[in-house]
Amino acid sequence: MNLSSLDELVSELRSAGDFPAGLGPLLRDVPRERFVPDRAWAGDDYEPIDRTADPGEWAKAAYSNTQIVTQFDVGVTQWPAIGKRPTCSNSMPSAVLGMFAALGAERGDEVLEIGTGTGWTGAMLAHIVGSTGEVVSAEIDPRLAGEAQERLNRTGYRRVRVINRDGTTGVPDFAPFDRVISTMAVQLGRIPYAWVRQTKPGGTILTPVRADLSSGPLVRFTVHEDGTATGRMMPMGVGFMEHRLDRTPSNPDELPDWQDDSAERRTTKTKPWLMLSDAVSRWALAVALPSCRYGIEEGRLAWFRDPLTGSWASVVPDAGEGRFLVRQRGIRRLWDEAEAAHRWWIEAGQPAGPDWLWTVTPDRQAIEIA
């Protein structure tokens, strides 16, 4: 373990306020370097790192507060090539510690982890719950599951059980659990009820939730005696990969002609960049416009697109002072929907994340202001 590099990471996290009380020793007790493959991609730019060729850069990445991608495109893309979509990573230390603080796992707890990844988070959870607790980790990729179990066994965390299965179904053979933590982002309205069913009353479920217009809300649920769960957003935002079956394709190379004058046209005084550039107001749009994507060019163009129906809307400055020209095409009038949602958000007092209440029952899921 490179103690000087670890000390620098700890100092950085403390300075940024990303060092939850009581969880700091985890970084020293469960060294990240033991769970980072010899070849991977570091940071937002996916810089290839190789422990053999350049051990210094590899160690620098291992002890930095950044994500380390360990797989692209379900393993199709081989290092050092950068693929289209990351499909496994070793998460940022600040994000991991923040999620553990929100989860509140304690010694003796039985924890279900969704998304084993490299095994690092499972090892830290095992360290938290101790010898009287249990950690079960579900990993959909058989190769990743096998490699993670090998790392866990090699580093002394044999008690972490890695189960190769779709995490959305939970792991019923080892239920019920005190805590469920997912490092897989789930789509709004698709929180697996299996997690609720397999959690003890009074237990906690922590998961990132995303919509096509907004990603990153971390939601903490409490499970109740009646088999329902209610939750609220946590202050921290995170970005995690989706379930492999939920991943929607990126925007195609050929997008609509946003200035097609044969589309339906009208004008508006609502500034689209203001409603889209603010994460709080954009979440209200995400709730109202499921499946929709957006794009924004400050001061020039904003657009919405629904890949499911082919509907789209674009907004550009109009010749009139303070007005914008709206073009819409398809069975949905996406700008009308977005403007109505934004108006409702304003009239509701501009509710922020903690104002939203999430409810999950066996037959429905809802999100409302409460």
pLDDT in tens, the chain (370 residues): 665 688 888 888 887 777 787 787 899 999 999 999 999 999 999 999 999 999 999 999 999 999 999 999 999 999 999 999 999 999 999 999 999 999 999 999 999 999 999 999 999 999 999 999 999 999 999 999 999 999 999 999 999 999 999 999 999 999 999 999 999 999 889 999 999 999 999 999 999 998 888 876 899 999 999 999 999 999 877 777 777 665 555 555 578 999 899 999 999 999 998 889 888 889 889 989 988 999 998 778 999 999 889 999 999 998 777 899 999 999 999 999 999 999 999 999 999 888 999 999 999 999 999 8
Task: Tell me, yes or no, whether 200 and 282 share the same domain.
Answer: no
pLDDT, one tens digit per residue, over 73-106 is: 999 999 999 999 999 999 999 999 999 999 999 9
Task: Tell me, yes or no, whether 111 and 173 share the same domain.
Answer: yes
Q: Please name the helix (run of DSSP H) or strand (run of DSSP E) that holds residue 356, with its range, or none.
A: strand 356-360
Show which residues are catalytic: 89
* Amino acid 104: pLDDT: 96
* Residue 363: inside a domain: no
Q: Which domain holds residue 282?
A: 264-347
Rounded Cα gap, residues 58 and 273, in angstroms: 40
Task: Tell me, yes or no, whether 130 and 220 share the same domain.
Answer: yes
State the total domains in the chain. 2
> CATH code at 176?
3.40.50.150
Task: Tell me, yes or no, whether 169 and 220 share the same domain.
Answer: yes
Task: Tell me, yes or no, whether 159 and 296 share the same domain.
Answer: no
Task: Tell me, yes or no, whether 98 and 204 share the same domain.
Answer: yes
* Residue 246: inside a domain: no
Q: Are 273 and 299 in contact (CB under 8 A)?
A: yes
What is the model's pTM?
0.91
Q: Cis omega (within 30 of 0) on the bond before 80?
A: yes
* Residue 251: inside a domain: no
DSSP structure string for 278-323? -HHHHHHHHHHSTT-EEEEETTTEEEEE-TTT--EEEEEE-SSTT-
| Residue 190 main-chain phi, psi, to 5 deg | -125, 30
Q: At what angle do helices 142-154 and 120-129 cross, to 10 degrees?
A: 50
For residue 166, CA distances in Å to 1, 78, 134, 172, 243 come to 34, 24, 20, 12, 9
Output the six-digit token pair for 304.
Answer: 């919405």
Task: Tell me, yes or no, whether 286 and 214 share the same domain.
Answer: no
* Residue 256: inside a domain: no
Task: Tell me, yes or no, whether 197 and 49 share the same domain.
Answer: yes
* Residue 54: inside a domain: yes
Nearest alpha carbon to residue 177 among 100, 108, 102: 108
Strand pairing class (293-297; 356-360)? unpaired
Rounded Cα gap, residues 150 and 139, in angstroms: 14
> CATH code at 333?
3.30.310
Task: Tell me, yes or no, whether 232 and 292 share the same domain.
Answer: no
**Average pLDDT along the chain:** 91
* Residue 355: inside a domain: no
Q: At what angle do helices 279-288 and 334-347 cross, to 10 degrees?
A: 120
* Residue 248: inside a domain: no
Task: Tell me, yes or no, whether 197 and 316 share the same domain.
Answer: no
pLDDT, one tens digit per residue, over 160-178 is: 999 999 999 999 999 999 9
| Residue 293 main-chain phi, psi, to 5 deg | -105, 165
* Residue 138: inside a domain: yes
Q: Are 330 and 311 in contact (CB under 8 A)?
A: yes
Task: Tell me, yes or no, whether 226 and 280 share the same domain.
Answer: no
Task: Tell me, yes or no, whether 167 and 225 share the same domain.
Answer: yes
Rounded Cα gap, residues 28 and 238, in angstroms: 23
